[in-house]
Amino acid sequence: MKINFASTKLAFFLIAILAILIILSAIIPQKDISDDRIIDLKELLGDGYVVIEKLKLDEIYTSPYFFILLGFLIINMAAGNIRRFKIVYKTEKTLLKARHLGSIIFHLSLIFTLLSVILNYLYRHEVVYALTEGQALSNSQTSYLREFSGPAFTDSNVRYQLRLVTVNESYEIEGSFTRAADISLLPENNPVAITATVLTNHPLKWNNLEFHIGPKSGYSPELLINDATGKSLFKSFVRLASRKIEGKTFHYDYIVIGETDIKIDITVLSDTVILDSPEYQITVHEDERLLCDTTLTDKEIIDCEDFKISIPRLRRWCYISAVESPFQNWIFFGFWIALAGMTIGFIPRLLENKSRRK
């Protein structure tokens, strides 16, 4: 079978497949985007989920076929439009009419935009750090939340250590309040740390990287669990998830103590200025059996069967992402020009309407 790369039918077909894939991605939860919905779907489908994984329908945007599709779209758009304008030029001897010019600019810029999208994907680098106040992570560690590096990305970044100093939930800027984080960046080859307050719309720019504060934050109580002999079983800050239910924010999470069946649920009870005098609801289960269900303040230690549980300190956590997105401005630029082209092509249509009425 010979494929005509310049055919508009093929273009229609390709755009339709693109639309269908995107609709599928709206229905099937995608890895790294909607992880909690993936768990639900896995439960629902059971073994059927394997099909989704095999077809990579849970990571559509990073799957090879998505890029092959974009590639075809680019080739097709180029070939189709070149062919069309050859014909137009033969019959009309000019391409400088607004209608044609607009269409050429539009489709060429769209090709440019798609190419930039692919390039940016290849060279993109993004790390999301989930940090509790006082905590430091380095970009040579693997313990951060998520990392994505495009296939062509070569890590030329200097090693650095990133420390979250404080999170401020109501930082005032130009009359409105936002979440801000004081961070400190210590590059390996630098004797002094770079400190900055990053907030929405105001990242820290350093080398090729931008450090952004993420859209979510929450509380991190320091959970201490000792056994009856006083031996420490657990000692760590636990990042609580925040959920908004009917306008109220809840801070909740659970942990399972390593290699036991002990599950501890922590919910923050107080909802204003909780850092000063926090109160928690603690429930402890062993398998399904409820061991205790009680409240706890930062000054108490509770005895729960063989365990002593306390939460002496409460801190905040937030996400900081380090992003390198080298072709991003090309994408924006291409798209703006495309829209300008569309507008140029649109003008004669408006004028035509007018002259028809006269």
Partner 1 sequence: MNAIESVFYWTTALLHAATFFLVLLSLVFKKSSSFNLAKWLFVLAFFTLTVFGIIRWARTGHPPFVTLFESMIAAIWFTLLIFHIARFKVKQVPILLLPVSFISFLMMGWSSSLPADASPLSAALTNVWLFIHASFATSGAAAFLMAASFSIIYLMGKKKLDAMEKVSAKIPEYKSLPKTILNFLIFGLILWGVMIVSGSIWAHVAWGRYWAWDPIELWSLISWLLFGLLLHARLAFKLSKRLFCWLSILAAATVVFSLWGIQYLYETIHSYG
Contact footprint for partner 1 (CB under 8 A) = 8-9, 11-12, 15-16, 18-19, 22-23, 25-26, 30, 33, 61, 126, 171, 173-179, 199-201, 203, 210-212, 214-215, 321, 323, 325, 328, 331-332, 335-336, 338-339, 342-343, 345-346, 349-350, 353-354, 356-357
Burial group, residue 81, by CB count within 10 angstroms (0-12, 13-18, 19+)? buried
Smallest CA-to-CA distance from 144 within 124, 128, 157 is with: 128
Nearer to ligand HEM, 31 or 99 (CB): 99
Nearer to ligand HEM, 2 or 54 (CB): 2
**DSSP state at residue 24:** H
Burial letters 178-196, b for 16+ CB under 10 A, else e: bbbbbbebbbeeeeeeeeb
Min dist. Cβ of residue 295 to partner 1 (A): 29
Smallest CA-to-CA distance from 153 within 330, 331, 335, 327 is with: 327
Pure H helices in 124-210? none
Nearer to ligand HEM, 11 or 238 (CB): 11
* Residue 135 near which of partner 1, ligand HEM, none (CB within 5-8 Å, type-dependent): none
Min dist. Cβ of residue 339 to partner 1 (A): 5
Q: How far are the Cα atoms of 14, 69, 132 from residue 121, in angstroms, in the given order? A: 20, 15, 30
Residue 263's DSSP bridge partners are 256, 285
* Residue 139 near which of ligand HEM, partner 1, none (CB within 5-8 Å, type-dependent): none
Nearer to ligand HEM, 11 or 185 (CB): 11
Nearer to ligand HEM, 80 or 150 (CB): 80
Min dist. Cβ of residue 107 to ligand HEM (A): 6
What DSSP string runs through 50-110?
HHHHHTTTTSGGGSHHHHHHHHHHHHHHHHHHHHHHHHHHHHHS---SHHHHHHHHHHHHH
Q: How far apart are CA 274 and CA 201, in angstroms?
A: 27
Min dist. Cβ of residue 327 to partner 1 (A): 11
* Residue 12 near which of partner 1, ligand HEM, none (CB within 5-8 Å, type-dependent): partner 1
* Residue 76 near which of ligand HEM, partner 1, none (CB within 5-8 Å, type-dependent): ligand HEM
Binding interface with ligand HEM (CB under 6 A) = 8, 11, 14-15, 73, 76-77, 80-81, 84, 99, 102-103, 107, 110, 342, 345-346
**DSSP state at residue 116:** H
Sheet holding 136-138, edge to edge: 136-138, 160-173, 176-187, 194-199
Nearer to partner 1, 30 or 310 (CB): 30
Nearer to partner 1, 91 or 201 (CB): 201
* Residue 77 near which of ligand HEM, partner 1, none (CB within 5-8 Å, type-dependent): ligand HEM
* Residue 357 near which of ligand HEM, partner 1, none (CB within 5-8 Å, type-dependent): partner 1
* Residue 14 near which of ligand HEM, partner 1, none (CB within 5-8 Å, type-dependent): ligand HEM
Helix (H) or strand (E) holding 39: helix 35-45
Tokens representing residue 291 in the block: 């061991």
Nearer to ligand HEM, 15 or 199 (CB): 15
Q: What are phi and psi of 144, to 5 degrees?
A: -75, 170
Min dist. Cβ of residue 233 to partner 1 (A): 34
* Residue 89 near which of ligand HEM, partner 1, none (CB within 5-8 Å, type-dependent): none
